[in-house]
Structure 1
Amino acid sequence: MDSQANSDVNNGAVARFLNFIERVGNKLPDPAMIFLFSMLLIWVLSWIFSSTQFESIDPRTGQAIVVHNLLSGDALAGFLASMVKTFTGFAPLGVVLVAMLGVGVAEHSGYINAGLKLMLKRTPQSLLTPSIILVAIVSHTATDAGYVLVIPIAGVIYYAMGRHPLAGIAAAFAGVSGGFSANFIPGGIDPLLQSFTQSAAHIIDPQMSINPLNNWFFTSASSIFIVLLGWYITDKIIEPRLKNTPVDGDTESLPEFHEVTGNERKAFYAASSVMIAGIALLAYAASGEDSALRSSSGSLTDFSAPLMQSIVPLIFLLFWIPGMVFGFMVGTFKSSKDMIDAMSKSMGSMAYYIVMAFFCALFIAAFSQSNLGALLAIEGAEVLKSLALPSGITVVGIIFLTAFVNLFVGSSSAKWALLGPIFVPMLMQLGISPDLSQAAYRVGDSSSNIITPLMPYFPLVVVYCQKYVKGTGIGTLIAIMLPYSIAFLIGWSLFLLAYWGLGIPLGLQSSYEYLGM
């Protein structure tokens, strides 16, 4: 009885705190305006700090870091001249729109609808959450596919099963973005981070060689940990809190989950066979050592490999073609015009995101050009270095510092390019290997992805939520995702320390200690 009372008090306190975060966050201006105001603030700060001489060395140049004044005449002229290019060159914009063209055909033809209905029959409701999170984690292999496919589909599935759709979106978002560094399957991010780690290690040991899969065992084990932790948070904290949040969005446009007809079932299996045949053909084309889909080194997972660079177009084709087959077989598409209309409807739903992406692109460009992000990262790392803490505490400090910097600098590779040349040599001198430094960085980099509105896909997730709950704002999403972020940051840090304490290998040819040259 006392235990139950304490639990109710604790749950009430957590709910009140999250409700406070939601209220405060929702009083903020529209995300597009936040990006605009933030860009103007960056301009002012760049002008203020441009006259300050800093002693910290920028590892990219080997010289003292300099803040560039964005209010100078040349900078303002360059801003206007490059505005269109900055917007059209904003990477997430093309990823989302191209993928959604194919997904739109698959959705409006009824192909995704039929697939979801068939899947729902085979997935026990008790295992829905871990299944969603696991799929979200595996989606990292296809770069940004999780943001444009897994997250919105999770909302549809939860709604169809009578559960709150925002809980499904939250679970998928936690897996896709919060569990970004957890995956059973190696992806392009592994060799990318390894390349920065090895370059940083060469500052101390020019002969050191690091395996691209030096964290693979740890990220695989982390997948299980993130699924279990995310499952608990979703079902025990997030969904109970959402039970009083009414679904008042445009749910009429969502698929109606009637029974699959015989014709639909036949069309679904035919369309899916086409998709499988396409995947098999792709696998065959990539299997040869001289395949045009491989990088110059023969790898399929390098970011330079044409296969990795073609993920989004492949998503488009692997949904557009089956969607077209299904639509013409069941009669939802009677002419090519119907298919084009489906793509147009898909683009119409992205209008709000496009507006936000415009201001987001301008802000991120300004933050990068000013060098304020680099200054923040370098100064923070120098403070941590000066503390000279024990190894375990230092590793945890790196995790928390990375999570903080991630609130301002979204790109995983850009942050590691800045922090790696400081963290890796520093920890090598303390006897800590580059493999462990990289693992610690990946934990911190993932944990705070889901609570920063400056993450390029954050506004897109807000749009997904507004489809079900019209009043969803930045504060709503942050309040929903904050329990995941805190739990991942603390729990994953402890998991890494325990993993380290047990001496389980981090990955291929990895180590925990650096013993010197």
Structure 2
Amino acid sequence: MAEHSKKGSDTFISRILNKVEWLGNRLPDPFMLFASLAILVILLSWIIASFDVTFLQPGEEKPVAIKSLVSAEGIQYMLISMLENFVGFKPLGIVLAIMLGIGLADKVGLIETFIKSTILKAPKGLITYAVIFIGILGNLAADAAFVIIPPLAAMVFYNVGRHPLAGLAAGFAGVGSGFTANIIVSNTDAVLSGISAEVMGTLDTAVTVTPVDNYYFMLVSVILLSVTGALITEKIVEPRLGKYEGDLQKDFEPVQSIEKRGLRNAAFAALAYIGLLLIVIFWQDSPLRNENGGMVPSPFLKGIVPIIMLFFITVGIAYGITTKKITSSKSIPAFMGEAMKDLSGFIVLIFAAAQFIAYFEWTNIGTWLAVSGASFLENAGITGIGVVIAFVLLTAGLNLIIFSGSAQWALESPIFLKMFYFLDYHPAFIQAAYRIADSSTNIITPMNPYFVIVLAFMKEYDKKAGIGTLIALMLPYGLIFLLVWILLLLVFVFLGIPFGPGIGVHLG
């Protein structure tokens, strides 16, 4: 284990996770690991392509071939796309933009003052539940939640005298493994149901899927996962980590009167910002709504990252001016620059990770594995609810190599929605089964582009931590969330609880 964790518990589960961490940390430095994986993809693509492997992608009539990177086309692609793979890597832009805002708020002292004035005074027993719950709801901010919630959760745990990596793990679990659940209909519901409806439209049936068809199931899931995640954190993760004895040592001084005024003015700025945003949203013919006047999807949701960035910049400036941390316009970019310096290691790491993920997608190896796995299950001859559970497990496994939930559903739905439709299962029920599998294993796969971001945050508290440390932290959440979610699915099935308005397990 990492040095800071030697005083943790020595249970059977802890010993297994310690072994996972030890093995994982024997791997090369994350930058070299992703560079090695990129080389491995190059070699695999060459070997598989040499056998002229092709497959039929769902919805396509023309066979798709595995493309070799050891070819004229492949070499040209690697050279020409290298910079685009890096600068066009979606998480990079999200992280840099969000950190311009959060970094400013942090450097002027707003986040520390906010934590000392609010969270530190909250009942200690509710903090873990709140972190998981907020993490799950974070999918309203889309991918930005991966950048905001885990590091703030680590900071909260550190400030209340608990292990910061436990907080980071809880935040990452809520955001990642609980990504598909929410208490309101979100963009995820719209995207997945849109794909499902399109597939069902190819059949001679009036059965379709709408954004609210999984609402009841996902609403219950939020409560169940919040409790489950908190128990995992307090009963497994924290006891294993033990007392934090890392390099970061910081004593917090009592909140000063000028800081209280700064926090008050930041709150006024936040209310003004949110109020103005609500006025624009509810304004007739608002540019932030879609053509039909709706919010899912909408320019508001698509532009959530800059909206969040500007929010933190607004409150950070209000606090900084009040506390005299910001004395001129030059202070603002100076603080932002300091925040960007803290991301230098992440930027280096993301260069290698971006190449690996791009190569994997370009070669079609991931799609081939997904289609092959789906065909195997389709031909397995399993019947009853057992075939649905097998579908869940297959999807959870495929999610380790295809992170995008919408991309994976676009691959699986043409096969499985039709297969299960002819077995008399409602497509919205199958979509719910897909969602629990797709979310659960988000946090234990390096194919998750935010995996390396969380790893970078983790190194702030433990410089010796590696990929094995993060996987060992997150493995209990991924496996237990999947198990608990499957059990919840079975409860809904056997008790006849609707998954959404009028949506049961079977058709009719």
Task: Report the TM range for the smaller structure's normalisation.
Answer: over 0.9
The answer on whether the counterparts of 1:247 and 1:468 sit within 8 Å (CA) in structure 2 is no
Separation in 1, partners of 2:42, 2:294: 42
Equivalent residue for 2:310, pick from 317, 321, 325: 317
Amino acid paired to 2:161: G
Match of 2:395 in 1: 402
1:510 aligns with 2:498: no
Is structure 2 residue 273 aligned with structure 1 residue 278? yes
Amino acid of the residue matched to residue 340 of structure 1? P
- Alpha-carbon distance, 1:38 to partner: 1.4
Q: What's the counterpart of residue 7 of structure 1?
A: none
Deviation string, structure 1 residues 392-413 (Cα, Å, up to 9, x no partner):
1111111111111111111111
CA contact (8 A) 1:295 1:306 kept: yes
- Which residue identity does 2:262 align to in structure 1? A
Task: Give the TM-score normalised by the residue count of structure 1.
Answer: 0.93
Partner of 1:371: 364
| Residue identity in the other structure for 2:162 | R
1:247 is aligned, of 233, 245, 248, to 245
Among candidates 372, 376, 381, match of residue 383 of structure 1:
376
Cα offset, 1:53, TM superposition: 5.0
Summarize deviations over 1:309-359 as a string: whole Å, max 9, x none: 111101111000110110010112222222222111111111111112111
For the structure 1 residues 49 and 206, does the alpha-carbon distance in structure 2 shift closer, same or farther, using more than 3 Å as the test? farther
Q: CA deviation at 1:250?
A: 3.7
Larger mean Cα displacement after TM superposition, 189-198 or 69-78: 69-78
Structure 2: which 5+ runs fail to align? Answer: 1-8
Shift of 1:289: 4.8
Instruction: State the alpha-carbon separation in 2 of the partners of residues 337 and 87 from structure 1.
Output: 30
Equivalent residue runs for 1:9-28 within 5 Å = 12-28=11-27
2:280 equivalent to 1:295: no
Residue pair 1:147, 1:457 contacting (<8 A) in 2 also: yes
User: 1:137 maps to which residue?
Assistant: 136
> Partner residue of 2:3?
none
The residue that corresponds to 1:81 in the other structure is 80
* Partner Cα separation in structure 2 for residue 247 and residue 328 of structure 1: 35
Q: Deviations over 1:369-421 (max 9, x none)?
A: 11111111011111111122233111111111111111111111111111111
> Displacement of 1:168 after TM fit?
0.6
| Amino acid of the structure 1 residue aligned with 2:140 | T
Q: 1:424 to 1:273 in 2, by over 3 A?
A: same
Superimposed CA distance per residue, residues 226-269 of structure 1 (whole angstroms, 9 cap, x where no aligned partner): 0111111100111000005x4323445xxx53222222112212
2-structure distance, mates of 1:210, 1:179: 21
**Matched residue, 2:478:** 485
The corresponding residue for 1:37 is 36
| CA gap 1:456/1:486 in 2 versus in 1, 3 angstroms | same
Partner SS for 1:387: coil
Aligned to 2:112: 113
Contact 1:211/1:509 (8 A) holds in 2: no
Select the residue among 390, 406, 412 that pairs with 1:413.
406
The structural deviation recorded for 1:120 is: 2.5
1:123 equivalenced with 2:134 (yes/no)? no
Name the structure 2 match of 1:262: 257
Q: Is the 8 A contact 1:391 1:432 kept in 2?
A: no
CA–CA separation in structure 1 for the residues paired with 2:218 and 2:90: 26
1:397-456 deviation digits (Å, cap 9, x = unpaired) = 111111111111111111111111111111111111110111111100111111112210
Cα distance between partner residues in 1 of 2:370 and 2:409: 10
Q: Is the 8 A contact 2:104 2:336 kept in 1?
A: yes
Output the CA distance in 1 between the equivalents of 2:51 and 2:331: 60
Moved more, 199-208 or 170-179: 199-208
Moved more, 339-348 or 207-216: 207-216
The separation in 1 between residues aligned to 2:38 and 2:332, in whole angstroms, is 39
Q: State the SS of the aligned residue for 2:474.
A: helix
CA apart distance, 1:297: 3.2
> What is the correspondence of 1:340-351 to structure 2 with a 5 Å cutoff?
340-351=333-344
Distance 2:310 2:360 in 1: 35
The CA deviation string for residues 192-213 of structure 1, in whole angstroms up to 9 with x for no partner, is 1111111222233354332112
Identity of aligned residues (%): 38
CA shift for structure 1 position 14:
1.1
| Residue identity opposite 2:224 in structure 1 | F
Measured after TM superposition, the shift of residue 85 of structure 1 is 1.4
Matched letter for residue 246 of structure 2: D
Q: For residues 184 and 86 of structure 2, what CA distance do their matches in structure 1 show?
A: 33
Q: Cα RMSD between the aligned structures?
A: 1.7
- With structure 2 as the length reference, what TM-score do the two structures score? 0.95
User: In the alignment, is the contact (CA less than 8 A) between 1:210 and 1:509 conserved in 2?
Assistant: no
Structure 1: how far apart are the matches of 2:191 and 2:502? Answer: 17
Counterpart-to-counterpart distance in 1, 2:332 and 2:290: 35
* 458-467 or 333-342, larger mean C-alpha shift: 333-342
2:58 alignment partner in structure 1: 59
CA distance in 2, matches of 1:251, 1:376: 47
How much has 1:158 moved relative to structure 2? Answer: 0.7
* Residue 172 of structure 1 pairs with residue 165 of structure 2: no
More off after superposition, 402-411 vs 116-125: 116-125
For the structure 1 residues 509 and 36, does the alpha-carbon distance in structure 2 shift closer, same or farther, using more than 3 Å as the test? farther
Any idea what the Cα deviations from partners look like across 1:450-493, whole Å, max 9, x if unmatched? 11122101111111111111111100111111111111111111
CA distance 1:513–1:56, change in 2 (3 Å): farther
Counterpart amino acid of residue 271 in structure 1: A
1:440–1:330 Cα change, 3 Å: same
